[in-house]
Structure 1
Amino acid sequence: MFCCIFALALVGCNEPKKKPSNNVFNNQNPEVCDNLIDDDGDGTIDCADLDCLGVGNCGNQNNNNINNNNNTQHMFTLRGKVWGPGADNASMLDVNRIPVPQALVAAYSYEPPDPTPLPGGLCNQCVDVPNGVIHAFSDTDGSFELFLYPNTNYWLVVQKGEFRRVTQYTAGGLDEVEDLEPAAGLPRNPATTLPNRFNPNLKQWIPKILVVEGTYEQMDLLFESMGFDYGVEIVVVSDSSASGIFNDMNQLRQYNLIVTTCGDDASYLTTATARANLRQYVYEGGKLYVDDFSYDFAEQPFPEFLNFMADGSTCGMGTSAPGTVGDCNNWSSYSPMGTPGDPYLDAWLGIINPGGTIELLAAWDIIHSMNPGLQGECEDDMDPNCVDGNYIGPPKVWMYGDWSGYTHNPVTVSWNYYCGKVLYTVYHTHSGSGGTGWDYALILQEKIMMYLIMEIQTCTDPVIVE
């Protein structure tokens, strides 16, 4: 049985690391509980393996969430799927309900601490799931499975980056199974739906988001179709009037994520203060999502990573940013056919867009080339990108595009900079037609954008780039 829980204290809490042992099946060999060997091949050893519950010195503590074929301990099974914000609302269009892969689902036997509020919690550092906490990371379709102690009270945490919901849950009886998924077309279970409101009293957290709107794009339809309070909880400011924010580090630190939309009126970005502040903001853990004509929000503080093609000429070459915003804008639109450069994004698109093509509407700017740049510190001397303790690498490509004159050209890329991340994409939301609020049907590239927003604000290690 679920119920909302309340808390008063705000203490530190970072996002757990993904473990390679999650969501796999054991082989048929029994686990020996005291030989320091993973006998049954499930990625866990001795007392960390579910087989060893109550055996020898292992006691009753276990943090394995594996579907183990050799369990001698009878447990309660909890199944479900993690869904994107708004999926639990009956007003949401079913086509806008998107599954969330690689989300943490953890069953705490005690009330977990709340996330650290901003500005102290800007760096979302990856940490291990606490020992003894039963947990899983959702599969590509959002599905998960936990083996819980029967008739036991838990705090169920569902988290993707800064999106986090905590709900009290009581496990059922011995060998019983509960599937939290409703019938197709019905609102999803609130306990496994990421929140769209920031309400710590109800144990719901979302990233603090600033949208810097350019002349050519707004994002109200995207966010409102998922139930976000656009213009209130999601702060919106025009690019031409945001100079005070970008010239003040204390204001920047109030946001986990800054989204900049298509426009080129942010002339203040060429100042040394704004450039340095943006670079420092990302260094400390801030995330930048930059699209199309607003490229200067990425190029001015990080000129070393990307070069552009503007109306037939190269632009932004070298390690010095252009002296004027908008210099690298390409004033000819194109709609590339996309090919995912990330295997997890590719698999996810296979679920929400099975067998379909990926047409990315109304892109303008063109990435000419990518260059390696400093992304953090490293310790692996065998990695060719690890140079004298510094990780020097090119951007990661999330999506390639094909269009007239271009084949397999990067159209969505990102890079780390210590604890933060920067993502740049040449296409924007390009809102479809018809409907507002809950009645607006997201087009494919808007769903991709929401996927990427959730991905780039997941945890990073502020020192070691993995």
Structure 2
Amino acid sequence: MSRIASVALLVALVAAACGDAFSNNDGASGRDGAADAASEGQLDARPVDAPIPVTVSGKVYAPEGTIPIFGALVYAVVSDPAPIPDKVFCDRCVELPQGTPNTRSSHDGAFELKLTPGTWKLVTQKGAFRRVREIVVPPAGLAVDPAITTLPQKTDATKGDTIPKMVVIQGAWDAIESSLAKLGLGQVDANGSLVAGSETFTLYRCTLTQLLPPVVDCKPRPPQDMLKDYALLSQYQILFLPCDSEWLDGVIADPTVKANLLRWIREGGRLYATDYQYDQIRTLLPDYITWQGQSGVAGSAELDSAYDAPAVVNDPDMKQWLAAQGVTTFDLQQSWTIIDSVHKVPTPSFDGKTYDVTPTVWVSGAVPGVGVKPATVSFPYGCGRVLFSSYHTEGAKSQGKSLLPQEKALLYVTLEVAVCLTLPKVN
């Protein structure tokens, strides 16, 4: 019954960027006395004797160092930005201070800024991944060393590196922890599996010791301890629930756990679940997604065997981002549920109002004998977001250290749903 899932979609998963807005915790400060530069390198008028801006260019990469990052905010200031909170928080988008030179990386990760010669703090940020490095811009301009604009692998405040606080409750059949390691958040062995102890996220190592009824042994402690204690849960910003047996169903249905998770999402948490963990989404927020075969019985939408489906990339930016890496067609491997439809639902937002929201479909799959169905979807709830994928993070053919297209897509979506929040679009 072993099943492997897809990591490419993780690269693509973590939500839409907010134009020239940035998180209110980015803390950018404009450079006093420097020539003003509006976003995307557009310059305001300046005195004749003012310093002439020159070109600063480079590329933004994922923590592993080779995958380009689309839509990363790159800006320059003269002092370090305020620290990003190290627990769950409502990350609303706000405008950069007027005159702050800034831009966003293109689909191939490239960016270009106009800066006056001198010393700057260059900030590279996608969601809660942020790197701050000092650069010296010479009169001839600067091609930035890629190490300066590669997203960090771990938090190190002394270096100016921050990553989101993530927790994974290990699944029996979807090794998302290995996919995260391939993305640079840990080390992997020759088979592409996470090297124990190398991860830069919290991992509850859960082993299925009995299938029916499901019994698990989790180290270093049962995840119920965290889920039942909001003070512990609120230390994290992203929670991954990869495919597993039904042992977690009763845990999430516990009134205290359910209330904690809903509060955590409303306050800014990002919840990501794959295939058999669809029941957790149904328990928490049941109105947004309908799965084929679902009923009031837990596990009713679980398929007895997996299927592969040709991918249909619905998000235009993801499509261009994958194409920039030479990926134009691929299969979504190891799907164990089928999303039938998504629905418009009155949804609370961070401004205290309620908006009608329909989940975003990032990727669909041409399901054999069924047709094209949503495969990766997300929706906002309060200050947080919920993400579901009907297929595993790493697919059946995911071996070694290389990433499948679906694994890259996962990275994309994970980063996108983790960026700062704008008000929902009315749909």
- TM-score if structure 1 supplies the norm length? 0.74
Superposed displacement of residue 375, structure 1: 2.6
Superposed displacement of residue 251, structure 1: 1.6
Residues of 2 paired with 1:378 and 1:277: CA distance? 18
Query: Which region of structure 1 is more displaced relative to structure 2, 420-429 or 263-272?
Result: 263-272
1:257-301 C-alpha deviation (Å, 9 max, x unpaired)? 011111132021122222222111110000011111111232210
Residue in structure 2 matching 1:305, options 288, 296, 313: 288
Corresponding residue for 1:128? 95
Residue in structure 2 matching 1:315, options 294, 311, 315: 294
The structure having more radius of gyration, on CA atoms, is 1
Residue in structure 2 matching 1:64, options 26, 33, 38: 38
1:389-421 C-alpha deviation (Å, 9 max, x unpaired)? 521122110011102122221111000001100
Corresponding residue for 1:94? none
The answer to which structure, 1 or 2, has the higher relative contact order (CA under 8 A, 6+ apart) is 2
Residue in structure 1 matching 2:238, options 228, 236, 257: 257
1:243 aligns with 2:224: yes
| Amino acid in the other structure paired with 1:442 | L
Distance 1:288 1:307, change over 3 A: same
**RMSD of the TM alignment (CA)?**
2.6
Corresponding residue for 1:347? 320
1:101 aligns with 2:70: yes
Corresponding residue for 2:331? 359
Contact in 2 for aligned 1:17/1:129 (Cα 8 Å) = no
Residues of 1 paired with 2:274 and 2:399: CA distance? 23
1:210-242 C-alpha deviation (Å, 9 max, x unpaired)? 011121122343222233236553111156542
Between Structure 1 and Structure 2, the one with more strand by share is: 2
1:199 aligns with 2:156: yes
Superposed displacement of residue 70, structure 1: 10
Corresponding residue for 1:222? 179
Residues of 2 paired with 1:407 and 1:452: CA distance? 23
Corresponding residue for 2:132? 166
Superposed displacement of residue 154, structure 1: 0.6
Residues of 2 paired with 1:209 and 1:378: CA distance? 22
1:164-214 C-alpha deviation (Å, 9 max, x unpaired)? 0000011111xx232236xxxxxxx21110001111111100111101112
Superposed displacement of residue 351, structure 1: 1.1
SS of 1:202 mapped into structure 2? coil
Residues of 1 paired with 2:230 and 2:339: CA distance? 29
Contact in 2 for aligned 1:270/1:325 (Cα 8 Å) = no
Superposed displacement of residue 429, structure 1: 2.1
1:157 aligns with 2:134: no
Superposed displacement of residue 302, structure 1: 0.4
| Amino acid in the other structure paired with 1:315 | Q
Corresponding residue for 1:83? 61
- Map 1:315-394; keep pairs closer than 5 Å: 315-316=294-295, 322=296, 325-354=298-327, 356-377=328-349, 389-394=353-358
Gaps of 5+ in 2: 1-15, 22-31, 187-193, 207-215, 217-221
SS of 1:201 mapped into structure 2? coil
1:177 aligns with 2:144: no
Gaps of 5+ in 1: 1-14, 21-57, 88-96, 182-188, 317-321, 380-387
Corresponding residue for 2:409? 448
1:288-328 C-alpha deviation (Å, 9 max, x unpaired)? 1111111123221001111111xxxx315xxxxx4x54232
Residues of 2 paired with 1:268 and 1:221: CA distance? 24
Task: Give me the identity figure in percent.
Answer: 28
Corresponding residue for 1:143? 110
Contact in 2 for aligned 1:17/1:128 (Cα 8 Å) = no
| Amino acid in the other structure paired with 1:244 | D
Contact in 2 for aligned 1:261/1:291 (Cα 8 Å) = yes
1:281 aligns with 2:264: yes
State the number of aligned residues: 369
Residue in structure 1 matching 2:385, options 421, 436, 455: 421
Residues of 2 paired with 1:360 and 1:423: CA distance? 17
Contact in 1 for aligned 2:350/2:383 (Cα 8 Å) = no
